[in-house]
């Protein structure tokens, strides 16, 4: 199943291609290391993901009709899940991001090895990003 994001499709395929939960975790932790530091200005309630046990911030910005994401988390695995979503939704239009079906999460195989609260947090981060994309689309009707 294609998500509409070639980058996200590639990561889902990579995760789905291994049956070893440890290797999946290693990949997620590797993604976390590649996440750029989040400026302190964005560490505020407006950008905090609700429904996550750990502290998670994600910020979407629209430039020339394309989404650009930043974020951070105080938990390594959650930061990796956030990095996966940031990398996967980077550069999409708000409409493309809103159209991504959350079914891709199950295809990664990650849910089987995540705690229920972390799996729920992963979905909450994704939904928060989609909500921001829709809000940004509403603010910029002439951009696309």
Residue 142 has pLDDT above 70, yes or no: no
User: What structural domains and CATH numbers belong to the chain?
Assistant: 6-143 (3.90.1010.10)
Dihedral angle, C-alpha 132, 13, 6, 124, nearest 10 °: 0
Residues known to be catalytic:
52
Task: Give the single-character DSSP code of 134.
Answer: H
List the structure tokens of 78. 């959650």
Residue 140, pLDDT score:
52
- Residue 6, pLDDT > 60, answer yes
End-to-end CA distance of the chain: 26
Count Cβ atoms below 10 Å from residue 144 Cβ, excluding itself.
Answer: 12
Here the tokens at position 66 are 């394309």
The structure tokens 């750990």 sit at: 54
Name beta bridge partners: 82. none
For residue range 19-56, what is the model confidence (pLDDT) as tens digits?
898 999 999 999 999 999 999 999 999 999 998 889 99
**Do 92 and 144 touch, CB atoms closer than 8 A?**
no
Average pLDDT, integer, range 68-76: 97
pLDDT band at 2 (very low <50, low <70, confident <90, very high): confident
DSSP summary character for residue 37:
P
């Amino acid at each position: 199943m294609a998500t509409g994001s070639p980058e996200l499709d590639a990561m889902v395929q990579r995760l789905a291609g291994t049956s070893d939960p440890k290797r999946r975790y290693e990949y997620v932790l590797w993604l976390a290391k590649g996440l750029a530091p989040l400026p302190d200005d964005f560490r505020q309630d407006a950008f905090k993901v609700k429904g996550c046990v750990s502290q998670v911030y994600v910020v979407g910005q629209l430039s020339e009709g394309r989404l650009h994401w930043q974020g951070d988390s105080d938990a390594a695995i959650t930061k990796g899940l956030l990095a996966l979503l940031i990398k996967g939704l980077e550069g999409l239009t708000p409409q493309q991001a809103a159209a991504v079906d959350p079914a891709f999460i199950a295809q990664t195989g990650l849910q089987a090895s995540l705690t229920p609260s972390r799996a729920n947090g992963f979905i909450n981060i994704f939904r928060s990003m989609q909500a921001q994309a829709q809000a940004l689309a509403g603010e910029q009707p002439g951009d696309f």
